[in-house]
Every structure is written in C-alpha cells, then in structure tokens.
Structure 1
Amino acid sequence: MGDDLIEKALGLLCDKYIFPEKAAEAAAAVRARRAAGAYDGLAGAELGARLTADLAEVCADKHLRVRPREEDVREALTEEQMAAAYAKQLRRNNYGIARVERLDGNVGYLDLRQVPDASVGGRAIAAAMQLVTHTEALIVDLRKNRGGAPNGVIFWTSYFFSGDETHLNDIYDGASGVTRQFWSLAHLPGERYLDRPVYVLTSDVTFSAGEEFCYNLQAQGRATLIGATTRGGAHPTEFFPLSPTMEITVPIARAVNPVTGTNWEGTGVVPDVQMPAAEAFAYAYEKALRHVIATGSSAAVLEEARAALPQA
C-alpha cells in the first residue's frame, strides 16, 4: 500500500507541478530512497511527513505536501464530492470570517482566518464589509490566515480600490501556459472602502492567499502592513486524494505581481512595520486612533478615540 501511495503521489507531482524539471528530479530522488528502504514501515502522517521533507529538498515549495486528509473530507474522492465538502467546510467556519467589529473611536476590525472562493463566500465578504463601511480606519487581521482562493483575494481587495482599473495580480498556469490577469472588480455589493487608512496585521503563520492579500495591497501602496514576515507560499495549489485518508497538495501555477514583477515565494511578505505579531494589533489600533483624532470627527467619536488611546 505504501509503495502504491508513493507512486501515485509521484505521478501527480510529475503531471501537475508548475516546475516539471524539478518534479522529475524530486521524483527520481524519492524513488531512489524508496529502493534503498527509506520508507519501509512508514504509513499515514509519518510517511507523509517524510515524503514532504524529501520533496522539499529538491523543490523547496511550502505548498508541496503529502499529508493526512481532514476527517470531514475523507469520503470525498471525486472533484464534485471535494467541491461539496469544501463548501460545507466554509459554511461551518463562517467563510473564514472569525470576527467583525466596530472598535471604540470608529475603527473597523476584521479577523480573517481563510479566504473563500468568491463564488461561495462572496455574500459573506460583502456582509462583513457592510458592517465596517462607515468606520474611519480599518484593521485587517491576517495573523491566523492560512490561505484560500485567489479569486476570493480579488473580491476582498477590490473593496479598497475604485472601479476596475487596478491590476492586482497575474497567475501563470503551468498546464495551459496561459497567464491570467486579475484586476479590481467593476461591481461589488455594497460600498467600497476608499480614502481611509487600512492596516494589515501579519505573522509567520500568514500563508498563501492570505499573503497575496497582503502583497497586493502593499504593492499598490493601499495599506500599511504591520507584524512579522509571512510564511512564503505564492504558488496556487490543487489537492489530490491519494487514498481516503491521505492527499498530496501540488502547486499548479505561480503568481506574478504586475508592480513588482515577482512574488513572495520563499521570502514571505515583509511588513512595512516589523515587530512581533503579538504586538501588531496594539500598534495598529493606536495608529488608527491617532488618525481619527487628527482628521476630526463627531464629538462623540473623538471622545471615544481619546479615551481608547493608551495612556503615556
């Protein structure tokens, strides 16, 4: 069973990976180690961890992993079943939106743990933005965001740009050789969040689509990033079941930012203000409060903002 799983994983790697030469090199290395008995007696999570480490020696790609499948998707083996399981999972975790709040001083706060596909989570994203639309500064907390869908990133970040004239990202697809451009959306449900500061919180957990969210806004000068350098995974990925209990995640494309000409793979997104992630919220909130006080507002909001400022 272990040999069959390894061979299936290597077949998918060679067929799907965005860098075919690296895939062939990594597959040859794993096959040589298998012949030498390196995987004898290994199964499940232990086998997955060993294969992931061995593949990383050649590919150094944080999205390339062999791992146990989550229990609630283990019956999903076809594309249709996996899509249904994904949609159910998103509903259960509120489409990655852990918290939406108006903080004292009329500062908005979004705690986003995942980026849903826009076709599934668009209504939830629009509802969250509606709840912060009248705030005077916004904090977007991505410190626990482990990724999601590129089109969800475009949906979210389109709220911070006017119209459809901002070129946010490109994705080169390995199978077709086609580069798809992603621009801010011409139409969105509700109001856009324009002409007000946005502060994005990051950590070394922030990954994949969460990183694209950060990188797109930073490249366009639309947000101030605060916290720790992110994890460093820029390759859009597909999930392939190897068995009911194991899967391989294979990067099938790569992001190319139209401003920088590159991406954050391996390097992570470096924040504008670097500090321990645990301290990022307090720093951002104080900056937001000082903005509210400096730009003026209603007497009630100014009183709230001054009261919320930390005392020297």
Structure 2
Amino acid sequence: MTTLTNLGPAPFPTPVIDETTRLLTEHYVFPDIAEQLATLLHRRLTEGAYDVDEAKELARLVTADLQSVNNDRHLRLRHHVDPVPSKQGAANLAAIRRDFDTSLGGAPRVELLTGEVAVLELAPMLFPLEWAAEPLSAALTLASRAQALIIDLRANRGGDPDTVAFVCSHLLDERTHLNTMYWRAGDRTEQSWSLPHVPGTRFGGTKPLYVLSSADTFSAAEELAYDLQQLGRATVVGERTRGGAHPCEGWTVHPHLEVTVPVGRAINPVSGTNWEGTGVQPDVPCAAPEALTQAHTLALAQLAG
C-alpha cells in the first residue's frame, strides 16, 4: 500500500496506478484482459489523464478505464471518505458491518399482504452468513407460513454467495446444485449447493414464489434471482438487473482508495453461463416501483387457480 496522503498533480497518481495494475495482473479472473487494462492504465498515466487534485476524481477516472474493455462492474477503484485500513478486504467489511447493524441484519421488512401472500425484503445486502444466519432464519421462518412469498431484491446490491445458498435452502425441498464458481487462484472450481437442513422452517419448494428485481439489483442478489429462475422455482418480476457475476476482493492502494478485482466467475449448472453483462432478465418485465403490485396480483391469481 502506498503511503501517499494526497493526490495532487503527477507524479502522485503513479504509485496508485502501479499497485492497481500489479493487483490486476496477479488476480483478475481474465488474465488476458488484465494485461490489456494494465497497458491502458499506464498509457493514460503517461498522457496525464490522472493528474487530478482529488482522490475521488482519480477513482472515477480509473474506474471508467477499468470498465472500458469488458464492462466488468465489479472492477473498480473505490473512493472512501474516511481513511481505510490497509488489511485486505477491511475497508469493505467495515462499511458493510455498519449497514448490517442498521438494517435488522439484512431483512428490514416482513409483511403479510391480502390473500396470505408474504413479502420479505432482503436489503441492502446479503450479509456474511456468520452475521446474517440468525436474522435471515427468523425472517424466513416467519414468512414460511404464507401461501405465497415475494422476495424483494430491488434495493439489494450483493453480498455473500454462502448467504445465497442459505436463502435458497429455505425455498427448496431437496439438496440442489445452485452454482459453480471458477477461481483463478489454483485454477479450480467450487460448487455451491443448498443445505440439507435449515435452522428454522422451510417455505419449501412448491408454493408460489416471486422475486422482485430492479436496475440496482447487483452481484450476489442477482445470483439469488438467477439461481431460482434457472431452477424454475421463482418468477422474476421487475427490471433487468445490473449484470455483475464476478466475485471480487478488495485491496487498499491509498488511504482513501480501494481497488476491487474480480477473482472468480459464476457458472450456472442449468444455463452453463451467468448474468455478467446481461443482467437477470425478468420473466415479467415492469418498472421497479410497480413490481410488488404486479407480483402480488400474479400470486393471488396463481393461488385462486
């Protein structure tokens, strides 16, 4: 990590770009693109494109260049207002812990609508399972008594793949292969399956299930929607999601800057691909603000039928 305390005119951006390109070439899940991006960033540095006065502006410019080749939304130089710790991943972890503590553990809303249709909002993230298992289990157990369930992911920006599997486990009857992750480190794959047992009561795999999406739904939240959709378990209602299927890790490269680099990619066992770049395509497209009303109407019709 560079020890810079400001980002004035060149040469101050140089250590940030040097460290960013090193992390790219060592860790990015697509090595060939990493090489292209490293060349691009160094060329832009030489041209003076990064000679700016603020870390926030540098983050914006570098992120635009990082995403210019393959539009990978997880590939970013993130600006943090407060100084961030140097330990790998610590900057992001501290931020999401604050969100966890102020969102009822990521399940801020459980509500019963007319017709015994429950709504469970999962937001703003699918938090690490060691934190979220208890509140999610309580919320899912409460919702399990409904005749139909709507899971609202419209404001969910991602999170932990293990938490995706935990939620799916409450919505299926049998242990099911949900996803496969390819990791660049070790050139290996790792499968994700639903759990054989859950700590609460399952909603199960037969009652009507709807998932609400928006253009803000991202990353692990997209995986939850995509996994359930590909399994034929849920109907996705709303907008096409943002399209980020690459799990990433973060490194501090400046007291106020963190580079996030995707280190793996998802491979769905049904489709053989993922939602990267394309987003999750809703089964019932509509504007995000209308999605709950639409899904409730569909659920009532399905129950009546």
Common topology (TM > 0.5): yes
Change (3 A) 1:91 1:153: same
Residue in structure 1 matched with residue 113 of structure 2 by the alignment: 103
Q: Distance in 1 between matches of 2:28 and 2:104?
A: 31
Q: Aligned pair in 2 of structure 1 residues 143, 84: CA closer, same or farther (>3 Å)?
A: closer
Partner of residue 63 from structure 1, selected from 63, 74, 82 = 74
* TM-score, scaled to structure 1: 0.89
1:246/1:154 CA distance change after superposition, 3 Å: same
Cross-structure match for 2:186: 176
* Contact 1:23/1:59 (<8 A) preserved: no
Q: 2:60 aligns with which of 36, 44, 49?
A: 49
Task: Please list the CA deviations of residues 222-272 of structure 1 after superposition, one character each: whole Å capped at 9, or x if unmatched.
Answer: 000111111100001112111221111110000000000000000011011
Q: Comparing 76-85 with 59-68, which one deviates more in the overlay? A: 76-85
* Counterpart pick for 2:272 among 257, 261, 266: 261
Q: Deviations over 1:191-250 (max 9, x none)?
A: 111220001111111110010001000000000011111110000111211122111111
Provide the residue aligned with 2:5 in structure 1.
none
Give the SS at the match of 2:67. helix
Query: Using the alignment, how far apart are the partners of 1:70 and 1:129 within structure 2?
Result: 35
From 78, 88, 95, the counterpart of 2:87: 78
Percent identity between the two aligned chains:
42
Q: Is the Cα–Cα contact under 8 Å of residues 151 and 210 in structure 2 kept in the other structure?
A: yes
Corresponding residue pairs, total: 291
Identify the structure with the greater helix proportion. 1
Gaps of at least 5 residues in structure 2 are 1-11
Aligned residue in 2 for 1:3: 14
Q: 1:171 to 1:99 in 2, by over 3 A?
A: same
Q: Give the 3 Å change call, closer, same or farther, for CA 283–80 of structure 1 in structure 2.
A: closer
- Cα distance in 2 for residues equivalent to 1:48 and 1:42: 11
- In structure 2, the residue matched to 1:92 is 102
1:291 Cα deviation after fit: 3.1
1:170 Cα offset (Å): 0.4
Sort the Cα spacing of 1:9 and 1:79 in 2 relative to 1 into closer, same or farther, 3 A.
closer
> Alpha carbon RMSD of aligned pairs, Å?
1.7
Q: CA deviation at 1:93?
A: 2.8
Unaligned runs of 5+ in 1: 295-312
With normalisation by structure 2, the TM-score equals: 0.91
> 1:163·1:187 contact (CA, 8 Å) conserved in 2?
no
Q: Which residue of 2 aligns with 1:13?
A: 24
